[in-house]
Chains A and B, each alone.
Chain A
Amino acid sequence: MSEPNENTGFSADAVATRACAANWAAERALSEHWNEDKQAALENWLAESTANEIAFIRMETTWERTGRLAILRPAAPEKSDVTARRIRPAILRSIFIILAISILAGAATFALQGAKKHTYDTAIGGHKTLVLVDGSRVELNTSTMLQVAVNDERKIWLRKGEAYFQIIHDPKHPFVVMAGALRITDLGTKFIVRQDANRLNVVVVEGRVSFSAKGESAQPLLLDAGDSVIVTRNSISVEKKSVQELARELSWRSGMLVFRHTALADAATEFNRYNHEKIIIGDMAAAHLTIDGTFPMNDVREFSEVAQAVFGLHVERRGGVTVISR
């Protein structure tokens, strides 16, 4: 054994081994084309001694731990091609009118049609999958209610909440999802429909859907994979989602919430959809901070603790409410 280095306490051998292991770890982490030659050289070095192998495990594990730093990524516009598409004014107008009427008349329609349907729902934090007789699958997210036509018609009414549809396509019997005043017709596809109080969102994950206002004779709007349309009382917009964004839209299916440059206030709103324990962001300064990361959707505590650790925010829990503020 050589003499310990006075700065580190390690022997010169150990220092050299560690430096070499760190070099390998950095080389591998940075390498875009890690090939068999490099791999063989690394394996040779690892095989020289158990000390080498242990030093390398140490550096690799350290590198892996620094992966958590990604959560600190500052807010910056994500590279996504947001292409707002022109929508023909005629359709637009009729959608607005009917949407407005339906919001007023929604309860009445519901009652009238109640007899011919089966109702399925989930509680806050719930998640349910329905398999229909034709093999189509419908997954209900938190706090959702929908009704399935009992007759031969392939039709579902989404009354509230969010559902993911994986439809077995049958050109002779189109699958129709009604959400408020809007009719979404499957053309062989997977899609998400989410209905909040004043807003409807349809995201096409695969395939195509057509989209129209109920009773509207004008040509329907066609949506392709990646299209996300948001309809409110005053606006309608279509944007293109990247594959990563689509995956995030579906992360609830595995019980996770994924945030990318998400304002803390919006993240809190998402958590509140899934939990009885509500998060309140106490002030605007905190609300505008942006957060990145993946969180278990039912773990309010982990979220608030990360907010506390990363932003130095003050977290107070009282009576089923978590208040996060500066």
Chain B
Amino acid sequence: MVEKPGIGAEETGLQRLGGVWPASDARLWFGREILPLEESLIHFLRNNWRNEAEVEDLLQEVYVRVFEAARKEIPAQVKPFVFATARNLLINRFRQRQVVPIESVADLDSLSIPASEPTPERGVIARDELRKLQAALDRLPPRVREAMLLRRVDGLSRREIAMRMQIGEGTVKDYLADAVNMLSDMLYREAEIIRKNI
């Protein structure tokens, strides 16, 4: 029976993992719901914390708290939960420290949590996604970009990429690791910058 032609359902990387990497609900949820909030979360932390250098550290702490909570139970309301977690973290940090900037404390009580934005239509997401990806790729180092394109666009194997680029197979992996690392920032953080550059 050819009941399901196997076309149409775009399998996601995380689903594809199947038994390989147990794609728990929390992991899937985190990738799908939380990472896309990164930019607004950073924005929120910057606006409400005086020491810019600590923002990254705070972000990671928010992530850890959100993820550990989700492992027990996935929150129903994503955005309010994430920003409430961030807010509580900031309040705790203020309390732990001896020196508390008075004006910041005052602000904290009225910390506004960004309202939910309307979800864009699927077509718009698809278009923006490709545009973002292309712009991000353009900013990769040339060799790293080449390896990425050979893999993702041409679908070559590790060995084929190594032969094509005249490099070792270990280097192929290093290039792709660099690519994915850099792209993760460009995709989750610099959407605004990229959009303006186009």
Contacts and interface: CB of A to CB of B under 8 A. Distances in A.
Which of under 10, 10 to 19, 20 to 34, or 35 or more describes the interface residues of A?
35 or more
30 contacts: A4-B56, A9-B56, A10-B56, A14-B56, A19-B177, A23-B174, A26-B176, A29-B151, A30-B172, A30-B176, A50-B68, A54-B30, A58-B31, A59-B180, A60-B17, A61-B14, A61-B35, A62-B188, A64-B13, A65-B183, A66-B148, A68-B126, A69-B149, A190-B2, A206-B2, A247-B5, A294-B7, A299-B123, A302-B126, A306-B126
Interface string B7-23: 11110111001001100
Which of under 10, 10 to 19, 20 to 34, or 35 or more describes the interface residues of B?
35 or more
Interface in B159-198: 172-174, 176-181, 183-184, 187-188
Given A26-B173, A305-B126, A251 B5 contact: yes
B181 A19 contact: yes
Contacts of B31: 57-58, 60-61, 64
Nearest to B38: A58
A11 interface: yes
Interface stretch (A117-125, A253-261, A269-277): A253-261
A66 B130 CA distance: 9
A131 interface: no
Contacts of B188: 58, 62
A110 interface: no
A58 B35 contact: yes
Of B12, B27, B60, most A-chain CB atoms within 10 Å:
B60
A14 B130 CA distance: 28
Contacts of A51: 60, 63-64
Interface in A27-58: 27-30, 32, 34, 39, 42, 50-51, 53-54, 57-58
Interface in B82-112: none
Interface of A: 1, 4, 9-11, 14, 18-19, 22-23, 25-30, 32, 34, 39, 42, 50-51, 53-54, 57-74, 166, 190, 205-206, 246-248, 250-251, 253-256, 258, 294, 299, 301-302, 305-306, 308-310
B155 interface: yes
A306 B127 contact: yes
A4 B131 CA distance: 31
A32 B173 CA distance: 13
Of B7, B9, B12, B173, most A-chain CB atoms within 10 Å:
B7
Contacts of A62: 180, 183-184, 187-188
Given A72-B153, A206-B2, A294-B10, 15 more contacts: A4-B57, A9-B56, A18-B181, A23-B173, A32-B157, A53-B67, A54-B60, A59-B184, A62-B188, A63-B180, A68-B133, A73-B153, A247-B6, A301-B123, A305-B124
A205 to B, nearest CB: 6
B53 interface: yes
B55 interface: yes
